[in-house]
Amino acid sequence: MNKKLFIKEYAKAVYEGNAAVFAGAGTSVGAGFVDWRTLVEPFANELNLDISKEKDLVRVTQYYVNSKGGRRGNISNKIIDEFSQNGKITDTLELLTRLPISTYWTTNYDQNIEKSLENQNRKADVKKQQEDLAISLRDRDAVVYKMHGDVTLPNKAIITKDDYEMYNETHSLFTTALKGDLVSKTFLFVGFSFEDPNLDDILGKIRVLLEKDNREHYCLLKKVELKDFNNSNEDFKAAKVRQELRIEDLKRYGIETILLDSYDEIPKLLSEIERIYLNKTIFISGSIATYPEHWLEKEVNTFCYNLSKAIVSDGYKVISGFGIGIGSSVINGALDEIFLSKYKHINEHLSLYPFPQIEGGEKSLTERWTENRNVMISNSGICIFMFGNKVKNGKNVIADGMLEEFEIAKELGKIIIPIGNTAEAANEIFRIMKEEKELHSYLEDFWNILEDGKTNDVISKISEIIKQQQ
């Protein structure tokens, strides 16, 4: 599948709240944990088997348990030894858990997904065994389904042939839950080889259930290369044919494959998905305490109202810090459109971050304001700057807080739209950006209208800039 199309479609699923992730062993190997072959190798050695020649590793673990009279204590200890340590949080995992995805499935025993979610201040509801599915953690941000078990319960890990064959009996609720998610969500399979017999069984049942109405899912696979086979042309050709056949077969389950030249591409793809997701959230920065001659108070209020209303009407979300003189109008415009056409879904289209005004607590007001600005701008993709003055010691001065927000937005690589004709800080930001206009090519056709255009024209052109960034 074309990478650009994948980025667009999965970003859409993320924004609509329908995205899910299935993390395979590859995500753990990148974090420093062993792969399946390395995990099973000591058991194969004890059975006098050459692990490099074994294709069915599940059967190897079954043979080992058989040789021990059904005891699996050594396997449990091996799982604890290999997966108890703290793994590195990779760029891929950080991005996957930073995106507002609420459903994560994994066959991995380690706890890296949960820890990465915690690093993002997201509360994970972890399902390690069937009993956990009957309980919901309050205020959870994401559910992590450990369908093959967890390092803290090694004796219940799915690892032998018996475990796989009995899975539908012993873990029927997991099977049911995964079926439901595969039907209702768009999955991204990462670090997954599709050699898992259990998943093949579930995908097959979904295909039979839905016939040709499968939901579209995506998987990221690296192209096989000659160097992967010690430059053996014969082995390479055979592997290439198998990969092509496998890709075609995955379409039966509604899974489209995105072929990568290197796994290093995954963070880049996810970063682009995050950028597109964030670009649907617009931060409006501004304040006004005294009104210039060409901007009467009523005109300012009308402009802020209409701009915010237009942004929400186009399906985007507004973030506001409730700036002096403009905050109420921005909120009113957004709320009126939300109640008119967005089914009163306020949280989906409006977020407010009012600035505290009284000293108190562990941090100073200045520190809290900077923290507030960082959060607002981090949660948005596009920042609009307008007006920007305040009264200090009885004098009208430029709003230095807006200039700080501009610097934060620049540092975070956000799309910045300065409305120069609104004067004060916005005009200063406009001047700085125009001097380095080669860095802001997205404004190439809009400099003049942002500098001195009429208000209605400015709003329509801002809408056009925002749409171009989607």
Is the CB of residue 254 less than 8 Å from the CB of residue 215? Answer: yes
Which residues are CB-neighbours of 303 under 8 A, at least 6 positions away?
A: 329, 386, 422, 455, 459
CA dihedral 114, 117, 119, 122 (to 10 degrees): -120
Q: Look at strands 103-106 and 19-23 and give their pairing.
A: parallel
In which region does residue 283 sit, left (phi positive, over 0), alpha (psi from -120 to 50) or beta (all else)?
beta
At 460, is the secondary structure helix, strand, or coil? helix
Q: Could you give the residue numbers annotated as active site?
A: 148
User: What is the longest distance spanned by two Cα atoms in the chain?
Assistant: 91
**Helical spans, DSSP H, in 101-196:** 112-119, 161-165, 167-170, 172-184
CA dihedral 443, 447, 451, 457 (to 10 degrees): -80
Residues in the chain: 470
- For residue 220, which of 22, 470, 447 has the smallest C-alpha distance? 22
- Tokens in use for 345? 């879904």
Give how far Cα 7 sits from Cα of 142, 219, 220, 258, 391, Å.
22, 12, 12, 10, 46
CA-CA distance, 284 to 55, in Å (whole number)? 57
Listing DSSP states for 39-108 in one string gives: HHHHHHHHTT--GGG-S-HHHHHHHHHHHTTT--HHHHHHHHHHHSSPPP--HHHHHHHHS---EEEE--
Is the CB of residue 257 less than 8 Å from the CB of residue 219? Answer: yes
Is the CB of residue 265 less than 8 Å from the CB of residue 222? Answer: no
CA-CA distance, 223 to 239, in Å (whole number)? 10
